């Protein structure tokens, strides 16, 4: 008979907890700063790769919006050029493409997920223990009544 500790459910639960823990270590950069940079770069790549397009009939509002978007793109390109110059001159030493709070937010979410899985894992083992204890008591009572 397959015991409760070695059931498929428990195996999946253990694997999920281990996977979340490894993901958290990888994303947080605790293993290596390169892993954190790789995670951030991958997120940016996926965000740029996934997109949708739709056609809309041109109206006055659409034309104005397109012009404003083009101006914003030009301003963003200028800001990027100024940041590159500042980095080249040594005026700043950080990359402004991704703010610190976004990386911390990702790590926080992974931490919360790992904590929830850990709580569920512990709760599962506590409930299994209580169930077995009650079952063994009921079986002991049954054995004493039949003897």
Instruction: Give the residue extent of every domain in the chain.
Output: 4-48+58-114
What is the number of residues in the chain? 147
Q: Is the pTM of this model over 0.85?
A: no
Mean pLDDT, rounded, for 65-94: 84
Three-state SS letters, the chain: CCCHHHCHHHHHHHHHHHHHHHHHHHHHCCCCHHHHHHHHHHHHHHHHHCCCCCCCCCCHHHHHHHHHHHHHHHHHHHHHHHHHHHHHHCCCCCCCCCCHHHHHHHHHHHHHHHHHHHHHHHHHHHHHHHHHHHHHHHHHHHHHHHC
Using an 8 Å Cβ cutoff, are 23 and 109 in contact? no
Provide the mean pLDDT of the chain: 81
Q: Which pLDDT band, with edges at 50, 70 and 90, does 1 fall under?
A: very low
| CA end-to-end span of the chain | 26
Write down the pLDDT at residue 71.
93
Question: Of the ranges 17-26, 50-59, 103-112, 117-126, which is most confident?
Answer: 117-126
Write down the pLDDT at residue 139.
83
- The count of other CB atoms within 10 Å of the CB of residue 114 is 20
Write down the pLDDT at residue 126.
92
Per residue in 17-70, pLDDT tens?
888 888 888 888 887 888 888 888 887 777 777 765 556 778 888 888 889 999
């Amino acid at each position: 008979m397959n015991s409760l500790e070695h059931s498929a459910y428990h195996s999946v639960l253990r694997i999920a907890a281990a996977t979340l823990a490894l993901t958290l270590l990888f994303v947080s950069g605790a293993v290596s700063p390169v892993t954190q940079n790789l995670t951030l770069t991958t997120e940016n790549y996926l965000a740029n790769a996934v997109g949708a397009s739709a056609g809309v009939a041109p109206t006055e509002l659409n034309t104005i919006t397109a012009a404003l978007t083009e101006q914003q793109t030009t301003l963003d390109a200028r800001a990027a050029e100024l940041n590159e110059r500042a980095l080249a001159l040594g005026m700043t030493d950080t990359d402004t493409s991704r703010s610190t709070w976004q990386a911390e937010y990702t790590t926080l979410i992974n931490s919360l997920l790992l904590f929830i899985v850990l709580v569920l894992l512990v709760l599962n083992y506590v409930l299994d223990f209580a169930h077995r204890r009650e079952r063994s008591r009921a079986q002991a009572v049954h054995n004493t009544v039949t003897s």
